[in-house]
Structure 1
Amino acid sequence: MCSFHVKSCENPNPKKKSKSKSKIQRDSDRMRTFIEKKQMSQFPFQGLEDKELSAFTCSIQDESAKQHINKLKESNRNFIKEIAVLKCENSKLDTVIQENVMLRNSLDSLNLERLKHVRLIQTIERELAEHASGTKNFEIEIVRLKEENRNLTNARQRLTMEFKNTDMHYNRILNDMEDEMQRLREENVNSRHEIQHLDIKHSNRGVRSTLAICSHGNSQQHHRRGGGYPRR
């Protein structure tokens, strides 16, 4: 409670009691107006001492800074959780990439088999050209090999398309995740810098507030020692 409030409450004069209550009500309304608008210029601090005014404004600013720092810390924790989730997804993508490598190896094996069959067909066709009186068994074998080669070709084309589509899809996902991780890292760094800046600013405000209170107390003590109150 302010000093003028104490003096008003201690006044035994019944005629001034209602006036003291209205004064307290006005001061309370002014305090509420200041908290809502948060602007020092809009609060008429009449009747308050400098020491009380400094302590009140510092407490408001410190609380606002603490709330902002807590919000930034919570945001930083959320960023760390998101990065952990992205790392988990990245490990899953590594597994998919390994499967794609296995598919690539299978595709290479199919290509080798196809080349072998093509060469075999070419050899058989040359033999048939040389031996025009070849038997029907050779023709059946050629038909079978051609059918098998067609199936292998279709399988190779299908696997090639699936591999390309899968590779393009996961490349896009990897690029998006890398961009997102980079953005989160930058936001995390910016949040840390802002927290450090607010911590320094908060500590500096506390020091300035303490110095202002000490300076005001010293000036009042010097005034009392030097002049005192005038005698009647």
Structure 2
Amino acid sequence: MAKINIDAAKIEAAIADFEKAVDFELVPVIARSSTPTLHVPWVISSLLMIFVFFGFEAYYLSQWHDWEASTIIHALATLFAITLAIGFTLGRFNAVRRMLTPNKYRHQFAQLEAEQVFLKKRLFDTKAHQGLLLFISLMEQRIVVLPDIRSSFSGAQKLSEEVLKILQADFKAGSYEKGLLEAIEHLKKTLAPQFPKKADASQENQLPNKLIWWDE
């Protein structure tokens, strides 16, 4: 994956601006992947091995080579190592991982990971139950907008889809910072009418205004 450059100070300012207008404590989190993908390089390598084995067998029989057993074993071991190297190299690419991981599982694991982040980062530990997670899972290309279940927030799925559309074009172009800033701005404009910052609300910042990179 290409290097991701995001100015943390700009994101912190955008979060602070969001929280001046909306009665929620926003925490944006970016995870490179939420889904276990250890199977991917092995699937690729196994498929390559099948083709290589039958190709080698066909070549060997067609040429009627009088090879010694040690030569055949060495050739097969070399081909085995090459297919493993190719499989594990291709398995590092998100596009390949998505191709070999069912969409249903990618969606489920992104949702589960978002819920884990919400708990581990204690977004539930706010006085008025106004923790709000913006979870971005890059490999899965999934967005989860997750509010505290004790709040009156509704429409999280629709909002997640809207934010995903905003982020997709910018992230595809490598404009991660621009996409994230636009996503936070969209959340502010969408939620401010329904959850305006109360005039008598405490100015205490209960959750840090920071972008979190999640690799657990």
TM surpasses 0.5: no
TM, length-normalised to structure 1: 0.27
Q: Which has the larger radius of gyration?
A: 1
Q: Which has the higher contact order (CA 8 A, sep 6+)?
A: 2
More helix by share: 1
Decide which structure has greater strand share.
Answer: 2
